[in-house]
């Protein structure tokens, strides 16, 4: 069944942008500036699709790690988790401007730590973005004691990372916890013995796609 959904189909982060665009488009239409009005209504359509935030069905498989974002898988590798200083399986999802940009919890778990790092804004599809770009990381701990690190990473155009939870919060799988504007990346680090369920190039949907199975 769809998860509890506390927000309308347009994410609240987009309400101001959408309202301004609609007012401008309506004024230009009323004044008879047809070319300008056409451009403005196209902007309304783009903003509406960018900030759309549909409800998602949540898989109930207990050991599943769900995708925290819509997009395309750009990395599946065993490497070091720089936040917990451990060996880990890393899966990275790149979001372009046409993807849904709400970020959702990959597991049921408690927020143990949160780290914010200011940084640069290189193309989020590049490997170096994981360590060089502005980013916000959460350490989530499941009831079984598994640690999952979920990292929001700004991109070339994305200049605003929003995260609404702090240490001590409890998240349900698929629960909305943040947003990144205009193209970005999510890195997920899990136990190195986890089994990946996706490959580089796969398209994934937030919450509905299982990235990996925990041991």
Co-location of 121 and 196 in the same domain:
yes
State the Cα–Cα distance between residues 164 and 120, nearest whole angstrom.
22
The reply to whether 3 falls in a domain is no
Nearest Cα to Cα of residue 3 among 54, 43, 39 = 54
Specify the residue for token string 């890195």.
Answer: 187
Co-location of 191 and 91 in the same domain:
yes
Helix H or strand E encompassing 139: strand 135-141
Nearest Cα to Cα of residue 146 among 198, 100, 212, 52 = 212
Residue 7's pLDDT is 58
State the Cα–Cα distance between residues 201 and 22, nearest whole angstrom.
36
Q: Which of 67, 105, 130, 184 is catalytic?
A: 184
Alpha-helical (H) ranges within 122-199 are 129-132
Co-location of 86 and 181 in the same domain:
yes
Q: What are phi and psi of 185, to 5 degrees?
A: -150, 145
Instruction: Show pLDDT as tens, one digit a residue, over the chain (215 residues).
Output: 344 455 568 888 888 989 999 999 999 999 989 999 999 999 999 889 888 888 889 998 889 999 999 999 999 999 999 999 999 999 999 998 888 888 999 999 999 999 998 866 655 556 666 777 789 999 999 999 999 999 999 876 656 788 999 999 999 999 999 998 766 889 999 999 999 999 999 999 999 999 999 99
Co-location of 95 and 143 in the same domain:
yes
The reply to whether 99 falls in a domain is yes
Instruction: Count the domains in the chain.
Output: 2
The reply to whether 184 belongs to the active site is: yes
Residue 6's pLDDT is 56
Co-location of 35 and 71 in the same domain:
no
Co-location of 86 and 159 in the same domain:
yes
Q: Which two tokens stand for residue 38?
A: 């056409």
Q: Write out the DSSP string of 11-47.
A: -GGGHHHHHHHHHHHHHHHHTT-HHHHHHHHHHHHHH
Q: What are phi and psi of 28, to 5 degrees?
A: -65, -35
Co-location of 107 and 69 in the same domain:
yes
Q: Write out the DSSP string of 84-105.
A: TTEEEEEEEEEE-TTS--EEE-
The reply to whether 188 falls in a domain is yes
The reply to whether 7 falls in a domain is no
Co-location of 142 and 99 in the same domain:
yes
Residue 68's pLDDT is 96
Residue 214 is given by DSSP the state -
Residue 181's pLDDT is 73
Q: Which two tokens stand for residue 167?
A: 């240490």
The radius of gyration computed from the CA coordinates of the chain, to the nearest angstrom, equals 18
Q: Which residue range forms the structural domain that includes residue 20?
A: 12-50
Q: Which two tokens stand for residue 84?
A: 């917990």
Residue 1's pLDDT is 34
Residue 52's pLDDT is 87
Starting at the edge strand found earlier in the chain, the sheet holding 210-213 runs 64-66, 210-213, 195-196
Co-location of 37 and 121 in the same domain:
no
**What CATH number has the domain bearing residue 174?**
2.70.70.10
Residue 22's pLDDT is 95
């Amino acid at each position: 069944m769809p998860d509890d959904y506390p927000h309308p189909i347009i994410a609240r982060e987009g309400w101001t942008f959408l309202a301004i665009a609609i007012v401008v488009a309506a004024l230009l239409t009323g004044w008879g500036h047809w070319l300008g009005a056409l451009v403005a209504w196209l902007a309304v359509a783009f903003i509406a699709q960018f900030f759309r935030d549909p409800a998602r069905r949540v898989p109930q498989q207990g050991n599943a790690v769900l995708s925290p974002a819509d997009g395309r898988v750009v990395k599946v590798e065993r490497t070091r988790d720089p936040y917990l200083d451990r060996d880990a399986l890393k899966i990275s999802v790149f979001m372009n401007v046409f993807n849904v940009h709400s970020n959702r919890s990959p597991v049921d778990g408690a927020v143990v730590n949160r780290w914010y790092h200011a940084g640069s804004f290189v193309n989020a599809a590049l490997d170096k973005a994981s360590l060089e770009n502005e980013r916000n990381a959460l350490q989530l701990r499941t009831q079984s004691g598994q640690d999952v690190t979920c990292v929001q990473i700004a991109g070339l155009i994305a200049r605003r990372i929003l995260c609404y939870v702090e240490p001590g919060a409890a998240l349900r799988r698929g629960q909305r916890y943040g947003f990144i504007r205009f193209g970005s990346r999510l890195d997920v680090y899990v136990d190195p013995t986890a089994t990946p369920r996706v490959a580089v190039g796969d398209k994934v949907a937030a919450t509905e796609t299982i990235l990996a199975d925990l041991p």
